[in-house]
Structure 1
Amino acid sequence: MAHRVTGVLIFFFLFVHVLDTALVRVSPEDYDKVVATYKTPIVALLEYGLTAAILFHALNGLRVIAVDFWSKGPRYQKTMFWAVGVIWAVLMLGAIYPLLGHAYRVLFGS
């Protein structure tokens, strides 16, 4: 279920991304205003969530491929699921500072 939810979230992000990028051809001034709204701590948290969704979707997709195409995949499905969770958590911990460092500096001024 989480794989489907993250897929839908990524789809909606891409849809909005295409729309706001297309705005540059219609009105560069409005595009600049929209992009300026993205430089907030709340959007930084949303970017972190997007990164979480993309990483989980990609890693779990590899697990699904392994289950479907590897003869021993169904036997190790649970183990691979936990491996995906651990790898995802480690990568998300590594992404905290690069993605949220700016938001921290904006909020706390350091």
Structure 2
Amino acid sequence: MAHRVTGVLIFFFLFVHVLDTALVRVSPEAYDHVVATYKNPVVAVLEYGLVAAILFHALNGLRVIAVDFWSQGPRYQKQMLWSAVVLWLVLMIGALYPVLGHAFRQVFGS
């Protein structure tokens, strides 16, 4: 279920991303205004959520491929799931500063 939910979330992000990028052709000033609204801590947290969704979707997708195409895949799917979740958690901890660092510097002024 989480794989499907993250897929839908990524799709909606891509849809909005295409729309706001296309805005530059209509009005560069409007595009600049929209991009300026993205520079706040709330959007930074949403960006971290996007990274989480993409990373989980990718890792779980590799697990699904292994289950489907490896003859031993169904036997080890539970272990592969937990491996993907642990790897996802480690990578998400590693992504905290690169993704959210600028937001904390904005809020706390350093």
Letter in 2 for 1:33: H
Aligned position for 2:42: 42
Structure 1: which 5+ runs fail to align? none
What's the Cα RMSD here?
0.4
- Matched with 1:13 is 13
| C-alpha separation in 2, matches of 1:36 and 1:24 | 13
Distance in 2 between residues matched to 1:37 and 1:94, nearest whole Å: 26
Residue of structure 2 in register with 1:89 after alignment? 89
Question: Normalization by structure 1: what TM-score?
Answer: 0.99
Could you tell me how far 1:109 is from its partner in structure 2?
1.0
What are the ranges of 5 or more consecutive residues in structure 2 without an aligned counterpart? none
For each residue in 1:7-38, what CA deviation from the matched residue of structure 2 results, as whole angstroms up to 9, or x when unmatched? 00000000000000000000000000000001
Aligned residue pairs, count: 110
Q: Deviations over 1:28-82 (max 9, x none)?
A: 0000000000110000000000000000000000000000000000000000000
TM-score (norm 2): 0.99
Tell me which amino acid in the other structure corresponds to 2:86: V
Give % identity: 82
- Cα distance in 2 for partners of 1:100, 1:13 equals 18
The runs of 4+ residues in structure 1 deviating greater than 6 Å are none
